Structure formats: C-alpha cells, structure tokens
C-alpha cells in the first residue's frame, strides 16, 4: 500500500474537470442573477419611443398620445390659431421660452410656436403647478376664466392657463410653460416622441 504509484495524469484530469464543472455552475448561477438587473419588457416599453401618424389629425384637432405613462398633446394648429400667439405675448410669464421655462423644451422648440413645424404642437399635457391634465379650450372667445381668451389650455383645478403653444399666463399658480418632449418627424405625416432629431439619424 505504501508503495502505490500516484497517477499524476489522472489527478490533473480530475482537478481540471472539477474546476470546469465548478466554473459552469458559477456561470449558471450568475446569469439569472445578472439578468435580474436588466429592466423588464414592461419597463422597456414604458420608456420606449412612440411613433404616431399625423395623417388623420385635422386642422384644429388635438390628439393625446401616451409616452412614458404621460399624456402627450399633439395639436394640429390652424393658421388662425397660430396668428393668436403673438397677441398674448405681453400676458405670458415666459413668451420666448428662454427664461424660467428654458429647460422645459429642447432648443429646436425654443421659438414662439414651441415646435419644429409651426402647425404641429407636441407637448406633455401635465400642468406645471400640481400635475393635473389641463383642458383643451381652442375657441377664440371670451371665457368665464379669461374675457380675452385666444384659445389654449385651462386647468380647472387651480385655474392655470396656457396659450396654444403651452406658454403659461401671468398671475396663475403654474410657474412654467408646459414641457415639450424630445421628438422628431420621421416623414411629413409621422412623428416619433422620445427621440431628438439629431439622435434619429
């Protein structure tokens, strides 16, 4: 017994095999653990860009689209509605969107229409006061909440008002313009919300 010869080749083989099997076991246990860190399909979908056809949205019509569980207003403004925008500048907190509301929209929407194409307004429909969803009141006529109303968005909860570019009026609880999300035009009748034009290329 004391003179038994040690088979070094077999010992190396068993040691290597044990190491390989152990390594496979560690990898097998680690993969599900690491996969659990990835966002779920539901979470990925919640943050994914949204593509929307504009083909059936008539002039003056508003469509609400859901993006990241937020209501996004897509408004096809008429020429008459666009003409009202400069008329209310003196009554707005930040008419050029370059003051307190500068962070509320991308640079390409930092203009009076607050949009890439003047007729198409794309903005998040959440009041900047307490997060209510304002009503779309497009008619250019006196309203109980504003005798000089030129159309826009009215939050009945606390009486905040926004014009047809989502710019907030002076003297209301809301402090900033309605935010403009990142978006771009895929073609003349399709937009994608959630992706800036420079990222779309």
Burial 155-193 (b: 16+ CB within 10 A, else e): beeeebbbbbbbbbbeebebebbbbbbbbbbeeeeebbb
158 is catalytic: yes
Whether residue 186 contacts residue 133, with contact meaning beta carbons closer than 8 Å, is answered with no
d(CA 64, CA 78): 18
DSSP-derived 3-state class of residue 17: helix
User: Judging by beta carbons within 10 Å of its beta carbon (0-12, 13-18, 19+), is residue 151 exposed, middle or buried?
Assistant: buried
Instruction: Locate 141 and state its tokens.
Output: 């006529």
Strand partners for 192: 51, 184
Among residues 8, 129, 158, 184, which one is catalytic? 158
d(CA 105, CA 99): 11
| Residues designated catalytic | 158
């Amino acid at each position: 017994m004391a003179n038994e010869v040690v088979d070094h080749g077999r010992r190396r083989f068993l040691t290597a095999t044990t190491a390989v099997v152990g390594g496979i076991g560690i990898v097998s246990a680690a993969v599900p653990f690491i996969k659990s860190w990835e966002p779920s399909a539901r979470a990925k979908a919640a943050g994914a860009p949204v593509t929307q056809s504009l083909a059936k949205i008539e002039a003056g019509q508003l469509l609400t689209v859901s993006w990241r569980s937020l209501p996004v207003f897509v408004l096809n403004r008429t020429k008459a509605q666009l003409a009202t925008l400069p008329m209310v500048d003196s009554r707005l907190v930040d008419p050029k969107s370059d003051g307190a509301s500068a962070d509320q929209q991308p640079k390409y929407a930092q203009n009076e229409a607050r949009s890439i194409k003047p007729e198409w307004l794309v903005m998040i429909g959440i009041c900047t006061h307490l997060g209510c969803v304002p009503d779309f009141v497009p008619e250019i006529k006196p309203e109980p909440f504003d005798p000089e109303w030129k159309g826009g968005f009215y939050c009945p909860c606390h009486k905040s008002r926004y014009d047809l570019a989502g710019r907030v009026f002076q003297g209301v609880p809301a402090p900033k313009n309605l935010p403009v999300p990142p978006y771009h035009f895929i073609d003349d009748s399709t937009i994608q919300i959630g992706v800036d034009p420079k990222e779309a290329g």
